[in-house]
Every structure is written in structure tokens, then in C-alpha cells.
Structure 1
Amino acid sequence: MSRVLGGARALMAAAKASAASSSPAPAEAAAAVAKPKSSAFTKPMPLSPAMRKFVGVPEISRPEAVKKVWEHIKAHNLQDPANKKLIHCDEKLKAIFGGKETVGMLEIAKLISSHFLKSK
């Protein structure tokens, strides 16, 4: 039995040695992971005046804009307590949602898409 285990130990040691020599250094691996892929979806785009006033910057990516809208909704407690999918708009949200009193949470991305201007 010791011959079997001894052979397995030798194989494991060889496998560990080859894995250590072929894998990148931890700093290199972290650098490779830290760089997110850039896409058109995450690219900052110019905003309409109403959206610019709401977020406070002239350009922002779509996910960041949705995040800012949700921060505003949570900060001002605008979700309907009975139906969390329903958002009651205050004056700031009405300005970017076309004057609607209430909005469904799944509509938010669609409604803010018109505020992203095409860059030339």
C-alpha cells in the first residue's frame, strides 16, 4: 500500500510543480482580472439637458444612469410599499420620465434611453 501512496505523492508533486511554472504570478493574474472589457453599453455618452440636470454630469454610461435613478428612488422612498415594482415619481423623476406619475421598475431603462444623445 505504501508503494501506491508513494507513487501518488510523486505524481502530485510533479503536477504542482508544472502548475506553478505555467501559471502567471499573482500580481499579473490580478492585473488581468482588474481590466474590465469596454463595450458600447458601458461607454459614457452625452446626455440631454434634463438628464444632465438630474445626474449632474454631462456624460455617463447607461448602467451608471440607472444606478443614479435607483439611488434617488431609494433615498426619497418612492417605491410603492404594497407593490415594490411601482415607482411614484417626484418632480425630478417626472422631468426625465416624460411627466408620468407612476412608472414600473422595468420601464426605467427604456424611459431613460431617449436621454442618451448619439455622439457624432
Structure 2
Amino acid sequence: MQLTSLINRKEITPMAKAKRKPSAAFMKPMHPSATLGEVIGDKAMPRTEVTKKIWQYIKRNKLQDKKNRRMINADEKLKPVFGGKKQVSMFEMTKLVSRHLK
């Protein structure tokens, strides 16, 4: 009985959540190639910002496939970035774009 009363009186403090630190690799400014620069601009920016700008371009020009939204239809500016492919998946897109960053 004594043990139960000690457990009940014990104060439980919640653990403080640790803030996530952005990865230095993702935040390092990268220079886009001339081909990619036509789509997002030629200013150096982190990979996360590159991806955001590409998605803005895709949505602004309505390049997502209407049936399968995970597929992106390349226009004349994106086709060279996507290695000449007419359509790529959103997951393949990041791999293809990384080739155009230095």
C-alpha cells in the first residue's frame, strides 16, 4: 500500500520536444545549370527551395497529369531537365533535377 501511494504522488514532467535542425546538406545553396535556370532562375538556392520553385512552375503551367497527379508532363522548358522524357513521376523528378545542381 505504501508503494502505491508513492507512485501516485510522483510528479511526471513531460519531456520537452527537441526542435529539428535543418540538415546542412539541404540548406547549402546550389547553383542550377543553365537548363534548370530557365525554369527556376539562375540564383543559387538550397535544394528545398529548388523543389518548391519547380512545383510552383508545374502548378502554374498545369503540368500535372489529370488522371494520375503523381506524374508530371514535361513542357519544352522541362523536357531537357527531365532528360528528354515527356513524363516523369514526382519521385523521379527530384533525382533528375539533382543532376542539374552544382
Residue 31 of structure 2 is aligned with which of 38, 43, 46? 46
Q: In structure 2, what is the equivalent of residue 70 of structure 1?
A: 55
TM-score normalised to the size of structure 1?
0.62
Matched-pair contact (CA < 8 Å) for 2:73–2:88: yes
* Greater helix share, structure number: 1
Amino acid at match of 1:91: E
Q: Distance in 2 between matches of 1:38 and 1:91?
A: 33
Q: What code does the residue aligned with 1:93 have?
A: L
Which residue does the alignment assign to 1:102? 87
Structure 1 residues 1-120: aligned runs within 5 Å: 37=22, 39-117=24-102
How many Å separate the matches in 1 of 2:67 and 2:22?
39
Distance verdict in 2 for CA 1:83–1:49, change over 3 Å: same
* Partner of residue 6, structure 2: none
Distance (whole Å) between structure 1 residues aligned to residue 36 and residue 67 of structure 2? 29
Identity score, percent: 43
Alpha-carbon distance in structure 2 between the residues aligned to 1:48 and 1:108: 15
TM-score, normalized by length of structure 2? 0.72
Gaps of 5+ in 1: 1-32
Q: Which runs of 5+ in 2 are unaligned?
A: 1-18
1: distance between equivalents of 2:56 and 2:28?
20
C-alpha contact 1:45 1:59 (8 A) present in aligned 2: yes
Instruction: Write out per-residue CA displacement over residues 19-54 of structure 1, whole angstroms, 9 at most, x where no aligned residue.
Output: xxxxxxxxxxxxxx8xx6561211111221112222
Take 1:37 and 1:66, find their aligned partners in 2: how far apart are those partners? 16
Per the alignment, in what secondary structure is the counterpart of residue 107 of structure 1?
helix
Higher Rg of the two aligned structures: 1
